[in-house]
Amino acid sequence: MTASVSGAVKDRVLIFDTTLRDGEQCPGATMTLEEKLEVAELLDTMGVDIIEAGFPIASNGDFEAVALIAKQVKRATVAGLARAISADIARAGEAVRHAARPRIHTFVSTSPIHLAHQMRKSEEEVLEIITTTVTQARNLIEDIEWSAMDATRTPIDYLCRCVEAAIKAGATTINLPDTVGYATPDEYRAMFRAVRERVPNADKAIFSAHCHNDLGLAVANSLAALEGGARQIECTLNGIGERAGNAALEEIVMAIKTRGDVLPYETGIEATMLTRASKLASAATSFPVQYNKAIVGRNAFAHESGIHQDGMLKNAQTYEIMTPESVGVSKTSLVMGKHSGRAAFRNKLEELGYSLSDNQFQDAFERFKELADRKKHVYDEDIEALVDQNIAMAHDRIKLVSLHIVAGTRGPQRATMRLQVDDRIVVEEQEGNGPVDATFNVIKALVPHEAVLELYQVHAVTEGTDAQAEVSVRLSADDRSVTSRAADPDTLVASAQAYLGALNKLMSRGARLHAQHAAE
């Protein structure tokens, strides 16, 4: 699989995005159906080759999400995950069957520790399971991916036997994941090379890397796998995922794009959409991107050191190996104000990568005007925060109508709140140990629940005393954890909206209930 680029022949690397499956397994990162559809649409538009849309057997909500994504996506392959169980495979096949390019992704453990303590099966029994389940999947759909869970801790002889059996049964992609983030680049490269050399039918399948970041080596291991012969990399936006996360899509893409001298590969990703994709994933999961995150972090192209600034002024290449524009970062920030009209606002949204329906645009424009009346200057980050919040709140059952706070040194602090719950308006007043506590107490009184507040975090979206406060709230209930974010110039309003956002996610009918953690 090669392509000619600028006279040089480069191998094509397939990008397999699992933000909607493995990424959502990150505690608190549950997305609504609408958010999943929006993320899938952007992934398809930016050129992702395979979108792993979910784990159909996990719940009716997961099945519905995978099925709708399969129907919606126009270009990318849509994959559904399935354990090596007949019912899982049948359910995954049903979920993706309407896709233009459907795939069933099935997996089974292969390492001694997994076979002994999780599978409780012998090596021969697992080989039989591989043959049976891959054959079943291939009879449903032509494109089958098989994964050896915990491949990096599996003896190479047995791993080769498993891979040979999977390809013989009809697997077209073989994934050798570093499930627990244990491998080093040299080990991971050598494993791929050995399997591809020793398995007689290896040339009939594409090999794939799926790395976790427990030791901070997910991206390095993934790139090493390419040198070992892998031509598909499984990754997520912002590196979100189980435990310490997965290989970050944006880092994989830009490493290949920037270091073509030592990485003679190419992807089909439109790199200028990376920043928007990162922000959408962050908004949908309510997981903020760390400021110093490579490629898409707020400080990725910021220079404070005097020496660095001096070099940048003379020649940007002295301290930047990529341009901000190459990943979709606009150099213009301060351009909008209360006198800006609809055309200017729509143009700004397009610059920031948003494509809104007429109703979404109207709602966003009204919120922008309200914000512009309260702030002297409206920055790009302000607009992104309000639009992302609009998208996240569009289908909420519980919405904040008004909030009034009495606070000060004498106390007690008191909150009066008006909420819209479905079609009803409810009002309540409560006291608390501080204005935030009073705000959350009144929500509990209006919407009784047993959720536990695990996280409450505040930071400013931009600079200045009139900056919007962005609040993150994480709630847990019934072994489920969800996170929500909201922004407003009033920290207490943002706090209420973030808490209500998390509460809406917990109450969502489509909330994900995992049949089993399918961490790879």
Paired sense of beta strands 2-5 and 173-175, if any: unpaired
Q: How far apart are CA 52 and CA 244, in angstroms?
A: 19
| 101: amino acid identity, one letter | R
The kind and range of the H/E element at 419 are strand 413-421
How far, CA to CA in Å, does 488 sit from each of 142, 353, 418? Answer: 50, 22, 17
Instruction: Order the strands of the 413-421 sheet from edge to edge.
Output: 398-406, 413-421, 424-432
Question: Do residues 179 and 519 make contact, with C-beta atoms less than 8 angstroms apart?
Answer: yes
**Of 520, 482, 478, nearest in space to 504 by CA:** 482
Question: Do residues 181 and 211 make contact, with C-beta atoms less than 8 angstroms apart?
Answer: yes
Is 212 annotated in some ligand binding site? yes
Work out the widest C-alpha separation in the chain, in whole angstroms: 79
Q: How far apart are CA 490 and CA 500, in angstroms?
A: 16
Is 201 annotated in some ligand binding site? no
Is 246 annotated in some ligand binding site? yes
State the DSSP string of 96-120. HTTSSSEEEEEEEE-SHHHIIIII-
Annotated binding-site positions: 22, 210, 212, 246
Annotated binding-site positions for Mn(2+): 22, 210, 212, 246
